[in-house]
Structure 1
Amino acid sequence: MKKTNRPLVLASVMLAMFIGAVEATIVSTAMPSISADLGGFSKYSWVFSAYLLMSTVTVLLYGKLSDIFGRKPIFAVGILLFLLGSLLCGFAASMEELIFYRFIQGLGAGAVLPIATTIVGDIYSAEERAKIQGYLSSVWGISAVTGPAIGGVLVATVGWEYVFWVNIPLGILALLGVMLFLVEPQKHQKPSIDYGGAVMLTVSLTCFLYWLVEGGVGFKWISKDTLLLLGGTAVSAVIFVMIERKAKDPMMPFGIWKNNSILYANLVSLATGVIVIGITSYLPAYVTGVMEQPAAIAGFTLTAMSIGWPIAAIISGRLLIKIGYFRTTLAGCIFLVIGTLLFVFMRPEFGPLWAAASSFFVGVGMGLTSTAFIVSIQSAVSYEQRGAATASFMFMRNLGSTIGVALLGSILNSSLLNYFHRQGENLSVDAINELLTEEKRSAISLENLRFLQEGLSLSLQNVYGVTALFAAISFLLIFGLPRKKGAESNVK
């Protein structure tokens, strides 16, 4: 019988995770240029929200489908959709088109990362996973190290379209590697797909996301629109829970949440999702628009996070064995608190090195926590539940990022409008487009330049204050994790 070629499958999985990480940082770096070219700074957060919404909604469904049909076919569907979306994004002629194509890209991304991580859990023993998951977590960082730099170079040379198209050849190689070299056990389960749960989860998250992004901008916080959207969110969420409790094969098997290691890991993952998206989405706009640095330098500030992440991820695998699960994750959350506080105290005159140092600390925190959580979760369940359990962790991080980009985008837009109103100016949020390229900055008066920069700086300060709050929440949640030796030994 043919056996799985573990080194080649691991290389393919790492390549798949590479394009996921590159997608996050390259697009963030390019967004100031994209917004300046296509217009619509008020829709800035929707470029991230569209992608995150679809990947969040589908990650649980894909995880369950991979448990039923096998990892290979679901991985193939996901990566092909992701590549189609990437291709179309490069051809977008307006912000609305780009947002629509990001929906398609996110629809595929929901399968790529969780199934890639689950495949590693399938082909390596519990003893090997701490080391291998450290490699996988480091790929997020290592690929992101190159992402901002590549993004800055592509934007400055051939154009922002290529930040999407660079995914295509790498994605094809990753797909071929998994399809050719992964051998899975035969599936004898009768398919039972939770379509109702998927629909209700989509409706609930879409209503909530739209309320967060447009509240205070498209309509007043206290209004009929708010009532309808929050009502739709609540009703569909209740129906989702009812469906999941009765479904034969639910998207979200609530039973696995009774394990404290999984429960608190997922709650921390939700909070860290808000932190990461808050920094990666808006730091380039701060460095470019307020500090007046080129895209390559803005990319460098995100690269610092990507350097801290892989270093810490590799160390995390060793720390799990030496000091245990609880202490490793506690150390990670301390770094997250330090990093987010550095962002809160950042000022334009501190320059990009301060921003880079802040990013580095957040990266270290993410590297320490993410590796420890994935190893622990995959050790706590059987093969038949591993796809759903891993997907639940990815879902919570994606959900955090989805809520985060919407919440923080709303805070940014509302803060800008309030700033303009206090200064007696009747401007829209799109006025910030004038700050995002050197050419546009040079075309406005020095007085207007300083006025807009102060508004963007103060508004982003509010955004970073919220990320610091979520870092503090993460730190407190860590104390809910099991601390006895038996709980720690399951990751060894």
Structure 2
Amino acid sequence: MNTTNRPLVLASVMLAMFVGAVEATIVATAMPSIAADLGGFSKYSWVFSAYLLMTTVTVLIYGKLSDIFGRKPIFTFGILLFLFGSLMCGLASSMDQLIIYRLIQGMGAGAVLPIATTIVGDIYSAEERAKIQGYLASVWGISAVSGPAIGGILVATVGWEYVFWVNIPLGILALAGVVLFLKEPKRNGRATIDYAGALLLTVGLVSLLYLMVEGGVGFEWLSLSAALLLTIALLSFALFVFVERKAKDPIMPFDIWKNRTILYANLVSLATGIILISVSSYLPTYVTGVMEQPAAIAGFTLTAMSIGWPIAATVSGRLLIRFGYFRTSLAGGLFLVIGALLFVVMRPEYGPWWAALSSFVIGIGMGLTSTAFIVSIQSAVNYDKRGVATASNMFMRNLGSTIGVALLGTVLNTSLLNYFSKSDEDYNLNSINSLLTVDSRADMPADTLQYLQQGLSLALQNVYALMAVFAVISLILIFGLPRDKGVRKNVE
């Protein structure tokens, strides 16, 4: 068989994306059981951060390697590494071991998601791509909705280890489909690998992301550790730019950033990454701590975003064909602004339905913009640069989310500390923990409960106000995209 079996490859790609995407939500459900079994609660957040860190660091490198060696070998390497990490995560006997294995798992995931998306860009035309990307986006919604349920069932029946091991048979199926049914063009000549660029990029990103995750938590922002990490990051990035400009085959071709479509789509994705993390990280806290709703209701409000996203992504494919990238992206940017403003004006008495509506509108904005960006970026470059161009967009959104974790966390903590400084009582950030369970709220004096809820509400309003600023910035940046007529007209 000399031609690609597109339906089977698409099914395999969607399965691979599901395995990678579901990992975040399914692990979140199991974490209380994992922490109770392994101990090390102080390292709780690093189980998530380790995965995000390595995914962000490696995504650009894998994208470039797929342009050099082809999608199939790099995808195979990535998914095998991911599956090995999943196997070892289930065998971990301490929190430190689990974090190390999550780093390995994240290294593999850095290849799976962008290359799966790139494969679709290779085997479908621009017009077909606009429709197919909607299917791929729906994977994120399905994983977000099903992940917690699957995780809960596995933890309750067979144990938390199977939260990781369930990836293995699914990953093997996805790998088999791509290996057997994807036929790639033959490679002529031997490309050089930019080892120096890859090393400098890795060192710079690890230093920066470690600073962002641990700053204000593991060490003070104004400390020797923070200064050292920032210096290493800046020096590594400066050397990276110098090396890349002279490299024969750079890991990050700077000429792709000269393309207006790629430049502005990636800048908007950086801003939407911050918006995304502000909703997913802080909405459950607001609904639980301020609105006094149970965890299930808090989860529902967040799931609303995951429902709006795939619906909008599917519609986005149709809009791209008729109206083009710019108008579709502009519509998405407007929904992001509207959703952010709904969060800004949200009050506790509005109830969880308002929170869910706000989340849903943000999901529509994310679905419209993300699909438009991927399709437009893949159409802006040829096959030899499609891998790194696609990866650059995912990298920028991941980077935005990581920056958002640090930036919004600082806003929240600073707002709370300023609020507490005006009180005669000895409150601190840990005082907020008592708002997050029904039992602790029941044991709290009414005036203390009201005071803490008001402080948390005001602090989160500041977080959402900053989110709204980034939503407006993303809308303004969309106007930098080139005007086009519809995808069908472009390909004809």
- The answer, yes or no, to whether TM exceeds 0.5 is yes
1:321-375 Cα distance to aligned partner (Å, 9 max, x none): 2222111100001111111222223333433222211111111011111111111
Deviates more, 1:74-83 or 1:478-487: 478-487
Alpha-carbon distance change, 6 to 488 in structure 1, aligned in 2, over 3 angstroms? closer
Aligned to 1:402, what secondary structure does the other structure show?
helix
- For 1:469, the aligned partner's letter is V
Counterpart Cα distance in 2 of 1:436 and 1:326: 42
Tell me the equivalent position of 2:253.
Answer: 253
Tell me the equivalent position of 1:101.
Answer: 101
1:229-279 Cα distance to aligned partner (Å, 9 max, x none): 322221111011111111222121111111101110111111111111222
Aligned to 2:386, what secondary structure does the other structure show?
helix
Alpha-carbon distance change, 196 to 450 in structure 1, aligned in 2, over 3 angstroms? farther
Alpha-carbon distance change, 250 to 365 in structure 1, aligned in 2, over 3 angstroms? same
1:401-426 Cα distance to aligned partner (Å, 9 max, x none): 22222333343444455555554666
Counterpart Cα distance in 2 of 1:44 and 1:425: 29
Is this contact kept in 2: 1:274–1:401, CA < 8 A? yes
Deviation at 1:30, TM superposition (A): 5.7
Deviation at 1:132, TM superposition (A): 1.2
Aligned to 1:252, what secondary structure does the other structure show?
coil
Is this contact kept in 1: 2:324–2:484, CA < 8 A? no
Is this contact kept in 2: 1:138–1:367, CA < 8 A? no
- For 1:405, the aligned partner's letter is V
Deviation at 1:94, TM superposition (A): 6.1
Tell me the equivalent position of 2:392.
Answer: 392
Between 1 and 2, higher relative CO (CA 8 Å, sep ≥ 6) is seen in 1
- For 2:388, the aligned partner's letter is A
Tell me the equivalent position of 1:183.
Answer: 183
- For 1:235, the aligned partner's letter is L
Is this contact kept in 2: 1:204–1:237, CA < 8 A? yes
Q: Aligned runs of 1:432-443 on 2, under 5 Å?
A: 432-438=432-438
Is this contact kept in 1: 2:326–2:484, CA < 8 A? no
Counterpart Cα distance in 2 of 1:413 and 1:262: 35
Is this contact kept in 1: 2:432–2:456, CA < 8 A? yes
Is this contact kept in 1: 2:322–2:486, CA < 8 A? no
Counterpart Cα distance in 2 of 1:193 and 1:443: 62
Counterpart Cα distance in 2 of 1:209 and 1:425: 36
Number of aligned residue pairs: give it.
492
Is this contact kept in 1: 2:61–2:251, CA < 8 A? yes
1:85-133 Cα distance to aligned partner (Å, 9 max, x none): 3344455666555443332221111101100001111111223211111
Is this contact kept in 2: 1:18–1:143, CA < 8 A? yes
Tell me the equivalent position of 2:173.
Answer: 173
Counterpart Cα distance in 1 of 2:43 and 2:349: 28
Counterpart Cα distance in 1 of 2:368 and 2:333: 8
Tell me the equivalent position of 1:348.
Answer: 348
Is this contact kept in 1: 2:139–2:310, CA < 8 A? yes
Tell me the equivalent position of 1:61.
Answer: 61
Deviation at 1:137, TM superposition (A): 1.8
- For 2:308, the aligned partner's letter is G
Is this contact kept in 2: 1:42–1:430, CA < 8 A? no
Q: Aligned runs of 1:217-366 on 2, under 5 Å?
A: 217-366=217-366
Q: Identity, % of aligned pairs?
A: 74
Alpha-carbon distance change, 176 to 488 in structure 1, aligned in 2, over 3 angstroms? closer
Tell me the equivalent position of 2:405.
Answer: 405
Say if 2:6 is the partner of 1:6: yes
Say if 2:159 is the partner of 1:139: no
Deviation at 1:376, TM superposition (A): 1.0
Aligned to 1:185, what secondary structure does the other structure show?
coil
Alpha-carbon distance change, 78 to 443 in structure 1, aligned in 2, over 3 angstroms? farther
Counterpart Cα distance in 1 of 2:439 and 2:162: 21
Deviation at 1:31, TM superposition (A): 5.8
1:59-78 Cα distance to aligned partner (Å, 9 max, x none): 11101111122212211221
Task: Name structure 2 gaps, 5 residues minimum.
Answer: none
Is this contact kept in 2: 1:217–1:414, CA < 8 A? no
Tell me the equivalent position of 2:18.
Answer: 18
Say if 2:75 is the partner of 1:75: yes
Counterpart Cα distance in 1 of 2:180 and 2:448: 58
Q: CA RMSD in A?
A: 3.2
Deviates more, 1:29-38 or 1:377-386: 29-38
Task: Name structure 1 gaps, 5 residues minimum.
Answer: none
Deviation at 1:189, TM superposition (A): 3.5
Is this contact kept in 2: 1:89–1:164, CA < 8 A? yes
Deviation at 1:46, TM superposition (A): 3.9
Deviation at 1:213, TM superposition (A): 3.2
Alpha-carbon distance change, 295 to 91 in structure 1, aligned in 2, over 3 angstroms? farther
Is this contact kept in 1: 2:323–2:485, CA < 8 A? no
Counterpart Cα distance in 2 of 1:410 and 1:172: 41
Aligned to 1:249, what secondary structure does the other structure show?
coil
Counterpart Cα distance in 1 of 2:407 and 2:83: 28
- For 1:287, the aligned partner's letter is V
Q: Aligned runs of 1:39-50 on 2, under 5 Å?
A: 45-50=45-50
Counterpart Cα distance in 2 of 1:432 and 1:163: 30
Tell me the equivalent position of 1:375.
Answer: 375
Aligned to 2:201, what secondary structure does the other structure show?
helix
- For 2:74, the aligned partner's letter is I
Alpha-carbon distance change, 320 to 107 in structure 1, aligned in 2, over 3 angstroms? same
Aligned to 1:231, what secondary structure does the other structure show?
helix
Tell me the equivalent position of 1:467.
Answer: 467
Alpha-carbon distance change, 282 to 96 in structure 1, aligned in 2, over 3 angstroms? farther
Alpha-carbon distance change, 148 to 469 in structure 1, aligned in 2, over 3 angstroms? farther
TM-score norm. by structure 2 comes to: 0.89
Alpha-carbon distance change, 486 to 135 in structure 1, aligned in 2, over 3 angstroms? closer
Counterpart Cα distance in 2 of 1:164 and 1:423: 46
Alpha-carbon distance change, 363 to 180 in structure 1, aligned in 2, over 3 angstroms? same
Counterpart Cα distance in 2 of 1:349 and 1:92: 44
Deviates more, 1:287-296 or 1:36-45: 36-45
Counterpart Cα distance in 1 of 2:491 and 2:343: 33
Alpha-carbon distance change, 116 to 245 in structure 1, aligned in 2, over 3 angstroms? same
Is this contact kept in 1: 2:324–2:486, CA < 8 A? no
Counterpart Cα distance in 2 of 1:39 and 1:52: 22
